[in-house]
Amino acid sequence: MASSRFAKICVIGAGTMGSGIAAQVANAGIDVLLLDVAGEDGARNAAADRALHRIAKSNPPLLMRPDNIERITAGNIEDDLERIAGCDWVVEAVVERLDVKRALYRDMVEHLKPDAIVSSNTSTIPIKLLMKAMPKALRQRFCITHFFNPVRYMRLLELVAGSDTDPDVIDAMADFCDRRLGKGVVRCADTPGFLGNRVGVFALQAAIHEATELGVKIEEADALFGRPMGIPKTGAFGLYDLIGLDLMADVVRSLRAILPAGDPFHEVGGENELINFLAAQGFTGNKGKGGFYRRQDGQRLALDLQAARWRPRMKATPELAAIGEAEGLGALAKGDDRLSRFCWRVLARVLTYAASLVPSVTDNPQDIDDAMKLGYNWVRGPFEMIDELGMRPFAARLKREGWPVPAYLEAGGAVYRVRGRKLTVRRGDGAYRAVDLPDGVVRFHMTRRTLKPVAGNDGASLFHLDGGVRLVEFHTKANALDAECMAMVRAAADDPGPGILIHNDAQHFSAGVNLERFLEFIEAKDWKGIDRFLADFQDAVLALATCKAPVVGAPSGLAIGGGYEVLAHCDKVVAHSNTVLGLVECAVGLVPGGGGVKETYRRWRARTGSWEEAAWKTFSHIGANRTGSSPDLAAELAYFAPDRDEQVMNRDRLVEAGLAALAQMGEGYRRPRRPKFKLAGGETFAAMVEHLERGEADGRLLPHDVTVGRALARIVTGGAGAKPTEAGEADLFAAEREAFVALARTAQTKERIEGLMKRGETVRN
Ligand code: NAI
């Protein structure tokens, strides 16, 4: 495989991006040399050392396990530059200044291995300028690798070749960054801002510009240019705060400087005096004194754009809720009120801007869609949005209202079309060609368009893939599991074909069982309803565990609570390496009721050989809501089993790896024997209760934590006075349900669930 070519890597520039890249290389199991400028005598590596410190402390963590830091060696460019002689790839991520970058390349040349690849992480400097004074041999091995921040979590990598870059170098980089660093690689031309920032920054500017023009409040703007449009809920103003107002102002300035005069960017990307003023006063966003949003004396404030003053942050209005709930983009932009007009004008600007880049910047609209989905976490790319609106009606409205209509939109029809069993996309020349993805990459949200579900409901769909494998896809909000989702799990288990893959391409595999449903049960005092729900859930996961074909769960994002319980009943988990795994029910005053306690207990017994120890591990990990923010860390909690499960760096390769695992297990598959248990008994229960009471006495635990802890302890021990006894799977399931229902009946659990669902707050009681 081409990636073995990269045994050692050097990153130069240990700032935000360099440290992120170094951490991800270390996550891939590769040694990295991280260089920055030299410090004073005695602290020559101070800058790179500080980066190591930041990496170690980062949150969300840049490292998949803390000891990956040992793969990174700090150094400085004065004392250690010759050490790049041992490196196969040198990534430059120093300040965005052409003179600094060029001087560095000049100093590096003599030390480089003859076949080492060199790349720059520049966001704005054209590659032809970077390569200008380089010897030809280096120009052939030079490219731009444009990562996004934070590197571990942002999926996009834009790869740009220069006129002399050897195509093999680009292919090797693309393959390595895809398979080993887990990136979705989009190959871009050497044009300003490439694709992600060209469209992404434009979109932010368009939203800010229109909100200002139309007198739309920033909360309103973010509520619309957010979830309803399939854009992360930070919207435009929230994202400015997150990135930093000063940094964003610089990005906008540099794009303005490099984009040609007629580019529509200039209509929305002018100097913004309000933003400059805020940044100058230290209101740079979350990293400073706050920005568009901030807190003062416990009060949440939002900036009034017109008055240039903060005011109390507005709660959701009925008007907003109504428009936000409008089904589909078309409905969002339809009305003639201020908010609908905002939606329409932003969409009109962003979508026509994206369309205007075809074919001059890229011939393939899919590249722009990919860049926005992978680099900005949009659910749909601009061209997928155009398809949703309908190209013809969209273009007709643009014309009617006097907007310029890019040539690409004049043709009508659809951008994407399914031909045969293939998804095709209309390129700049008007021809439909198959979507372009590397071998083995499957983004199920695209593949699903070529398939017809064999069964489905509001919660999930069941597909038969080529070769007959069943794929269960959850598709509720945050993939919260409800009875409908579990009905599809059950349907797959009842007729499993050669195997079942449980996978979806949403941000989160599943954030757990749908708590809103439980709250309804609780409000109706329908305790039987809860018990029935849990029993059905348990039946469905047991059907998975006992079905006659292998089952693989292939999660990414959050796979917690009920989501984890589904995985715990699969034969094998093939997880993306950023997956968060664990059981968090106790936080809302409940215990896992879908086999989570049972499976955790079983796993710890297998690991420790002792039921007593397994009971304590189960009690303490579940009781403290511990999750692992990577499969490696989840393995320490026994939520992931490295000897059986598998992790994959690129989430676009989960389906490939999942199918391979199913094929491998399918030969001579024998369903695992059902486990037998032994409850740890009353003495252990008493010790656990004592532990809880001590926790309450010294203030670590609150009264309801103790109640929940006791309920949990009872499941694995049998409770007060119990003898250590044998138990079957059904007994453990029944004990989970009983504990769950008893807790659901308490006022404190209701308070906790209400706090989370209605106010997004963690209630401590
Ligand atoms: P930064 O300011 O956080 O870090 C730059 C680092 O380079 C500093 O630690 C500085 O001491 C070091 N440095 C300066 N001159 C050097 C030299 N001659 N040799 C070695 N180290 C030197 O900057 P950041 O944000 O990490 O950006 C780095 C590059 O990545 C820039 O080209 C930027 O345009 C690009 N980029 C930045 C993104 C972001 O979100 N911050 C996203 C994508 C690309």
Residue 392 has pLDDT above 60, yes or no: yes
Question: Do 64 and 105 share a domain, yes or no?
Answer: yes
Pair of tokens at residue 427: 């390129």
- Read off the pLDDT of each residue in 516-521 and give the average, rounded to a whole number: 94
Ligand 1 in contact with 94 (CB < 6 A)? yes
pLDDT of residue 745: 97
User: CA-CA distances (angstroms) from residue 229 to 80, 232, 336, 452?
Assistant: 49, 9, 18, 25
Pair of tokens at residue 639: 């939520």
pLDDT of residue 1: 40
pTM above 0.85, yes or no: yes
Closest ligand 1 atom, CA of 94? 7
Q: How confident is the model at residue 323 (pLDDT cuts 50, 70, 90)?
A: low
Q: How far is the CA of 759 from the centre of ligand 1 (A)?
A: 39
Element holding 502 (H helix, E strand)? strand 500-503
Q: Residue 435 falls within a domain, yes or no?
A: no
Closest ligand 1 atom, CA of 95? 5
Ligand 1 in contact with 38 (CB < 6 A)? no
Ligand 1 in contact with 695 (CB < 6 A)? no
Question: Do 506 and 606 share a domain, yes or no?
Answer: no
How many domains are contained in the chain?
4
Ligand 1 in contact with 12 (CB < 6 A)? yes
Place of tokens 């590769």: 30
Residue 133 has pLDDT above 90, yes or no: no
Q: Residue 671 falls within a domain, yes or no?
A: no
What are φ and ψ of residue 124, in 5° steps? -135, -15
Ligand 1 in contact with 16 (CB < 6 A)? yes
Domain holding 95: CATH number? Answer: 3.40.50.720
Q: How far is the CA of 137 from the centre of ligand 1 (A)?
A: 25
Quote the DSSP letter at residue 259.
S
Q: What is the pLDDT of residues 433-479, one digit of tens each?
A: 999 999 999 999 999 999 999 999 999 999 999 999 999 999 999 99
Residue 71 has pLDDT above 60, yes or no: yes
Ligand 1 in contact with 149 (CB < 6 A)? yes
Residues 6+ apart with CB under 8 A from 558: 478, 508, 509, 510, 511, 512, 579, 580
Single-letter residue type at 331: A
User: Is 512:560 a contact under the CB 8 Å cutoff?
Assistant: yes
Pair of tokens at residue 500: 């079942």
Q: How far is the CA of 16 from the centre of ligand 1 (A)?
A: 7
Question: Do 383 and 510 share a domain, yes or no?
Answer: no
Single-letter residue type at 321: A
The residues pairing with 185 across neighbouring beta strands, listed in sequence order, are 157
Final residue before a domain boundary, out of 666, 691, 719:
666
Closest ligand 1 atom, CA of 35? 20
Place of tokens 């656990």: 688
Question: Do 466 and 570 share a domain, yes or no?
Answer: yes
Higher-confidence residue of 326 and 74: namely 74
Question: Do 652 and 726 share a domain, yes or no?
Answer: no
Closest ligand 1 atom, CA of 100? 18
Q: What is the pLDDT of residues 268-309, one digit of tens each?
A: 999 999 999 999 999 999 989 999 999 999 899 999 999 999
pLDDT of residue 316: 72
Q: What is the pLDDT of residues 201-258, one digit of tens each?
A: 999 999 999 999 999 999 999 999 998 999 999 999 999 999 999 999 999 999 999 9
Q: Are strands 299-304 and 432-434 parallel, antiparallel or unpaired?
A: unpaired
pLDDT of residue 286: 92
Closest ligand 1 atom, CA of 14? 9
Question: Do 181 and 204 share a domain, yes or no?
Answer: no
Distinct helix (H) and strand (E) counts, the chain: 32, 28
Question: Alpha-carbon distance 185 to 374, whole Å?
Answer: 9
Question: Do 562 and 549 share a domain, yes or no?
Answer: yes
Residue 760 has pLDDT above 90, yes or no: no
Question: Alpha-carbon distance 184 to 166, whole Å?
Answer: 21
User: CA-CA distances (angstroms) from residue 637 to 24, 607, 618, 677, 732?
Assistant: 23, 11, 9, 19, 20
Ligand 1 in contact with 18 (CB < 6 A)? yes
Helix, strand, or coil (residue 682): helix
Residue 533 has pLDDT above 60, yes or no: yes
% of the chain exceeding 70 in pLDDT:
99
Question: Do 156 and 237 share a domain, yes or no?
Answer: no
User: Is 156:148 a contact under the CB 8 Å cutoff?
Assistant: yes
Question: Do 341 and 481 share a domain, yes or no?
Answer: no
User: Is 500:544 a contact under the CB 8 Å cutoff?
Assistant: yes
Q: How confident is the model at residue 335 (pLDDT cuts 50, 70, 90)?
A: confident
Question: Alpha-carbon distance 279 to 273, whole Å?
Answer: 10
Which of 629, 215, 175 is CA-nearest to residue 440?
Answer: 175
Q: Residue 659 falls within a domain, yes or no?
A: yes
Q: What is the pLDDT of residues 720-737, one digit of tens each?
A: 999 999 999 999 999 999
Q: How far is the CA of 375 from the centre of ligand 1 (A)?
A: 19
- Read off the pLDDT of each residue in 59-65 and give the average, rounded to a whole number: 96
Final residue before a domain boundary, out of 131, 162, 188:
188
Residue 675 has pLDDT above 80, yes or no: yes
Closest residue to atom 40 of ligand 1, CA basis:
149
Closest ligand 1 atom, CA of 19? 26
Helix, strand, or coil (residue 186): strand
Domain holding 258: CATH number? Answer: 1.10.1040.50
Ligand 1 in contact with 14 (CB < 6 A)? yes
Pair of tokens at residue 233: 């809920």
Ligand 1 in contact with 107 (CB < 6 A)? no
Helix, strand, or coil (residue 607): helix
Q: How confident is the model at residue 47 (pLDDT cuts 50, 70, 90)?
A: very high
Give the range of the structural domain holding residue 528, as residue numbers without chain letter.
444-584+628-666
Out of 39-53, 322-336, 663-677, the most confident range is 39-53
Single-letter residue type at 575: A
Closest ligand 1 atom, CA of 101? 18
Q: Residue 692 falls within a domain, yes or no?
A: yes
Question: Do 10 and 102 share a domain, yes or no?
Answer: yes
Ligand 1 in contact with 100 (CB < 6 A)? yes
Please calculate the CA angle 648-165-16 and round it to the nearest 5 degrees: 50
Burial class of residue 674, CB neighbours in 10 A (0-12, 13-18, 19+): exposed
Mean per-residue pLDDT of the chain: 95
Q: Residue 431 falls within a domain, yes or no?
A: no
How many CB atoms sit inside 10 A of residue 419's CB? 11
Displacement of CA 195 from its chain's centroid (Å): 20
Which of 358, 607, 653 is CA-nearest to residue 505?
Answer: 653
Question: Do 231 and 308 share a domain, yes or no?
Answer: yes
